Each structure stands twice: as C-alpha cells, then as structure tokens.
Structure 1
Amino acid sequence: MVNSELAVGLIFLTQTVVGILGNFSLLCHYILLSFTDYRLKSTDFIHKHLIVANFLTLLCKGVPHTMAAFGWKHTLSHLRCKLLFFLHRVGRGASIGSICILSVYQAITISPGNAWWAALKVKAPKYIVPSIFLCWMLQMLVNVIFPIYITSSSSDKNITNVKDFGYCSSVLHDETRNSLYAALLSFPDVLCLGLMLGASGTMVFILYRHKQRVQHIRRTASSPESRAMKTILLLVSTFVYFYTLSSVFQVVLAVSDNPNWILINMAAITAACFPAVSPFLLMSHDSKIHRLCFAWTGNIKSPHLRRNM
C-alpha cells in the first residue's frame, strides 16, 4: 500500500473513531440524565437529533472511505452504495437543520421582552418537535432521488460516463439535469444557512447590548441563557467554517468529470469534520456534564444536587 494512501486511511480511521466515541459519550450523558431528576430542555432534544445525524454522517461517509483507503475497494453492492449515499445526505441535511433550529430557538429565547416576542417565547418550545421531524422528512423527500445517480464501482464496468469515488461511483448525466438537481438539493441547505446566520447575528447583537448595559458592574454572574448562547454561537461558527470548506470541495468535485483521489478524500474529510468535533464542543461548554460526572464518580446521591443539574 502506498504511504500516502496509508496516511489518508489513518486520518479517516482516527476521525471516524474519535467522532463516534464523542457522539456516543454525549448520548450516554443524556441517558444518565434520564436516571436523575433533571428535566430535559428543548435544546437537549435538538442535541439528541444532532447526535443521530452525526452518527449517520460518520458511519456512511467515514467508514466506507476508511475501507477504500486501506484497499478494500469494490466491496459494496449496488443497493448498499445507494443506501450509504442516501443516508449520508439525509444525516448531513438533518445536521444543518438541527443547528438552524437550535440557533433560531436560542435567538427567540434571549430576545427582548416585548409583547410580540413574549408570545413567541411561549409558543416556541411547542414547535421544536414538529420542526425537527419536518426537517428529517424534508431531507428524506429531497434526497430520495439522489441514489439514482449512484452505482457500485464493481458494476460500472460497462458504463463509460461515471465518476469514481473509490468504493462507489456516480453516473454522469447532461449538464441541464445536473444543474436543476443541484439547485433542488442546495435549496434547503441555503435556506437553513441563511436562517442560521440571521439568528446568530441577532444573538451577537443582543449579547453586545447586554454587555454594554452591564459593563459598569465589575462582577456579573453569567446567566444560563448567556452561556447557552455562547455555546451555540461557537457551534454555529464551527459549523459554518467546516460547511463552507466542505462546500468548496464539493463544488470542485461536482464540476470535475475525473477527480483525483486527493480531491475526493479532502471532500470526505472536511464533510466529516463537524460531526466529529461538535459533541466535544457541546460537552466542553455544558456544566451539567461536569456536575453529573462528579456526582456519579463520587457516588453522590443528594436530591439537592440532582434538582440543580
């Protein structure tokens, strides 16, 4: 095996294993919380769906690319290739939708206390569950025709117009059809990205105004809303960075009829960066996790501690 292919395989393997362990740890965190008196918030429900979306992205993108980098190519059947690409697209889209819903909900939560915003704050938690499930359904409907383009690398020997991804291939069609299909796939992502950036801008503006009001106070306790807002802003900024980087590689990959293995691997690595990093961002800024770990490792069973988690 060539040294460069071995290095790429190790990168994929490390990224996939670390990402899966991180998301699994965050999932265990919510399982442990279910055994306490802590009442899960609406944002926790969004986090759980983000974990599921991350798992789909890592398993359906990281695992097959790792296998291909280590030399296990042409091992997937026609149906498995279609299923892998479909689940990856759905997971990727659900991840974008989850971050969008999370940022919009947090922007509504910390919004000014006038009558219109107050009514919206009361209604917002009720729309979390329908919005999340609508996001999943929309991604399934939009990407249901995506597998039409995908075929197994072992079954494309009689097809001339194919784009090889190492373990699966994509059948090339005319430019008009590809452009229309690309616009259809991109529309939900662009819409979510616009809402996400708008909500993030609103949170930054509110945070700046709050800082201006309390700057004369030497020591001001950080409210839970402020901490949650900073965590979401970090999550959104990280997502936008990796999503932009991934989109650049995806565009170059889309316009290339015969892309080289470096471009294919870079597009896959950048696509899996956010699912691998996001659980660690959430855990590092969540004080409930630190208190929960302290309570369980120290065998603390105080109801007072559980109520305050």
Structure 2
Amino acid sequence: MFGDLALGIIFLIQMGVGILGNFFLLGLYSFTLFIGQRLRPIDCIFAHLTLANSEVLLSKGIPHTIACLGIKNFLDRIGCRITVCIQNVARSVSLSITCLLSGFQVITISPSNSKWAELKPQAQKCVVHSCFLCWCFYLLINFTLLGTMHNSRYLTNNTKMWYLGYCSNLSPSSFNAALFAVVFSIPDIMCVGFMIWASAYLIFLLHRHHQQVKHIHNPHLSLKAFHEKRATHAVLLLVSTYVSFYSLNSGLSFYFFQKDKHQPWLVGILDLLGSWFPAICPFVLIFCDHQIRKSWYDLWHRGYCFLFCYALFNHCSPQNSALKI
C-alpha cells in the first residue's frame, strides 16, 4: 500500500513538472502563430514533439496516479483500449519526431560541399508534412493492431488478461505477445539506430568545425556557429536521454511480455520510465535556446510578481485591516 502511494506521488510530481514545461512551450508557439509570426522549421518539430510528450504524460500519468491512490480498474474495456492506443501513438510519435529532429539537424549543420547540404531547402519545406505523416502513420498502425487484437471472433474463454492497474486489457489466447512486441518494435529500432548514427555524425561535424574555425575571429561567424552549436548540443542531449530510457524500458517491456502473470508495480515502473523523457524534454529545449529561456524567465518573474502583489493586496485590504482592529 505504501509502495503504491509512493509510486502515485512520483507519477503526480513527474506529470506536473512535465506538463508545466510542455504547456509553456505549446503556449509560446501558439502565441507566436497568433501574432502572425512564422515558426522556424526546427520550432515546428519542437511543437509536434511537445504535443506528443504532453499526450504521453497525461495518458500515462493520470490513470496510474488514480490507480496508485487506491481506485483500481476504473476504466471499462473501451476506455482501456482507447487509453492504451493513445499511449502507444504518443510514445511512437515522440520517438519518430525525435528521429526527425536528428536528421534535420544533420542536414542543417552539414558543410556546403556535403551531399546532405543539398537537401537543406527541401528539408525546411517538408518539416510540417513530415510531422503530420508521423502522426498519421502511427495512428493507422495502432488502430489496425487494436482492431486485430480485440476482434470479438478471437476472444474466447482462453483469452489472456493483461492487468494494467487502472484497467484490464484482453488479448486472444492465440496472440503471440513476443512476436507482437518484435514486429511493433521494428520502426522504433530503426528510429533509434538512425538517431545513434546521426548523433555520431553530429559529434564528428562539431569536432571538425571546431578545428576549422578556432583561429577565425569573425563575430558574425562566431555568433552563428555558437547558435548552431547550442542547437546541436540540445539535439544530442535529447537523443542520448531518449536512447537511454528507451533501452531500459524496452528490456523491461520484453520481460513483461514474456510473463504470464504480471505484477502491477512492474506496469507502473514501465510507464514511469517511459514518461521520463517527455518530462525532461521541454526543459532541455528551454535552457538550450536563448529566446525560449528568456521568455521562461520573464514568465517566471511575472508569476512571482503577481503572487507578491496579490498577497500584498489581501494583506492591506480594508476587510483584513478591520479584522486586525
């Protein structure tokens, strides 16, 4: 009981912190579009990544927090299927857009004589379409698999029960969980492999660029190189964080699929690990981008000023003065 309560508190803190950062970025990008300014191509990728991360945090954090606080199996069969489907779609989109971000950054900082540099104009035009394609692709895959797994013709008395804490998910007895995990993981493994290669290539480009420009003292070139370097460091940090948590989560997930009986705490640990990247990601983006970081600090200080003025107003109001007298 104490373990469930502690896990629920951790989920609540993780979700609260992650939602704070992700909603700040979504609000900032929405405000930029509202005032008529265009987002940079990389900001479009960040916006879709932030949206996917918010869905991961909400779809995993809210059900698990409620379940850990004592309300078990509060979702019916349809609600359970929809929740699991949203979790899978949001997680896969987050991975694929992080992969897209890696490829875009490789194209952006590639030297002009590289083959990757030839794709720079096309890459900037195709960013939005690529992000929407990621959403459509994983929505199609997950809804197809969801319909296949839960077809009423295959649900018999020998149907397997997957206990998730907040609901119980059913799958046919003939359903091979290990095979499903392998097939479903193929696009994820391809994305992770590409991100690792892209990260190694980015490190190589940064090292070579540093060797070439360390004797050049042009302020304009130095400022441009500085911004590109910070953006590349942000991408590398995001990719390394995602790959680390993905590897750990995948190993535990494979162990989970192999077992006939599942411990509720293991499901919670899996989803907790799967939510760490969405919770950390917005703060990496905030503190690695000067403009976003400035907006964050301004909003933070305004919030403190608002709370201070509100407390001062209540303290000096006539009603409070009358009470003191």
What band does the TM-score fall into relative to the shorter chain?
0.7 to 0.9
Once residues 87 and 182 of structure 1 are traced to their aligned partners in structure 2, the CA distance between those partners, rounded to angstroms, is 17
Once residues 15 and 150 of structure 1 are traced to their aligned partners in structure 2, the CA distance between those partners, rounded to angstroms, is 32
In the alignment, which residue of structure 1 is the partner of 2:192?
Answer: 193
In the alignment, which residue of structure 2 is the partner of 1:70?
Answer: 69
In the alignment, which residue of structure 1 is the partner of 2:287?
Answer: 284
For 1:62-101, list aligned pairs within 5 A. Answer: 62-101=61-100
Q: Report SS of the residue matched to 2:74.
A: coil
Q: Report SS of the residue matched to 1:257.
A: coil
Once residues 62 and 294 of structure 1 are traced to their aligned partners in structure 2, the CA distance between those partners, rounded to angstroms, is 27
Once residues 253 and 33 of structure 1 are traced to their aligned partners in structure 2, the CA distance between those partners, rounded to angstroms, is 43
Q: Deviations over 1:71-99 (max 9, x none)?
A: 11121111111100001100001001110
In the alignment, which residue of structure 2 is the partner of 1:263?
Answer: 266
**2:134 aligned with 1:135:** yes
- Structure 1, unmatched stretches of 5+, are 299-309
Once residues 273 and 150 of structure 1 are traced to their aligned partners in structure 2, the CA distance between those partners, rounded to angstroms, is 29
Once residues 178 and 5 of structure 1 are traced to their aligned partners in structure 2, the CA distance between those partners, rounded to angstroms, is 27
Q: Which one-letter code corresponds to 1:264 in the other structure?
A: V
Distance 1:117 1:146, change over 3 A: closer
* Pairing partner for 1:237 from 219, 235, 240: 240
Distance 1:291 1:19, change over 3 A: closer
Distance 1:105 1:8, change over 3 A: same
Q: Greater relative contact order: 1 or 2 (C-alpha under 8 angstroms, separation 6 or more)?
A: 1
For 1:198-277, list aligned pairs within 5 A. Answer: 198-216=197-215, 221=223, 222-277=225-280
Distance 1:75 1:231, change over 3 A: same
Q: Deviations over 1:250-304 (max 9, x none)?
A: 1111111112233222111101111111011100111012344577879xxxxxx
Aligned-residue CA RMSD (Å): 2.6
Greater shift, 164-173 or 32-41, is seen at 32-41
CA contact (8 A) 2:5 2:69 kept: yes
Q: Deviations over 1:42-95 (max 9, x none)?
A: 011111111111121111111101111011112111111110000110000100
Once residues 77 and 162 of structure 2 are traced to their aligned partners in structure 1, the CA distance between those partners, rounded to angstroms, is 15
Query: How far does residue 217 in structure 1 lie from its aligned partner after superposition?
Result: 6.0
Once residues 276 and 293 of structure 2 are traced to their aligned partners in structure 1, the CA distance between those partners, rounded to angstroms, is 25
Aligned length: 292
Distance 1:174 1:136, change over 3 A: same
Q: Report SS of the residue matched to 1:75.
A: coil
CA contact (8 A) 1:74 1:167 kept: yes
Once residues 13 and 165 of structure 1 are traced to their aligned partners in structure 2, the CA distance between those partners, rounded to angstroms, is 17
CA contact (8 A) 1:83 1:147 kept: no
Q: Tell me the TM-score normalized by structure 1.
A: 0.86
Once residues 98 and 160 of structure 1 are traced to their aligned partners in structure 2, the CA distance between those partners, rounded to angstroms, is 35
Q: Report SS of the residue matched to 2:281.
A: helix
In the alignment, which residue of structure 2 is the partner of 1:53?
Answer: 52
Query: How far does residue 5 in structure 1 lie from its aligned partner after superposition?
Result: 1.4
Distance 1:288 1:58, change over 3 A: same
Relative to its length, the structure with more helix (as a share) is 2
Once residues 100 and 78 of structure 1 are traced to their aligned partners in structure 2, the CA distance between those partners, rounded to angstroms, is 33
**2:6 aligned with 1:7:** yes
- Percent identity (aligned): 39
Q: Which has more radius of gyration?
A: 2
- Structure 2, unmatched stretches of 5+, are 303-325
Once residues 288 and 172 of structure 2 are traced to their aligned partners in structure 1, the CA distance between those partners, rounded to angstroms, is 46
Q: Which one-letter code corresponds to 2:187 in the other structure?
A: P
Once residues 172 and 31 of structure 1 are traced to their aligned partners in structure 2, the CA distance between those partners, rounded to angstroms, is 40
**2:107 aligned with 1:108:** yes
Query: How far does residue 38 in structure 1 lie from its aligned partner after superposition?
Result: 5.3
Greater shift, 193-202 or 76-85, is seen at 193-202
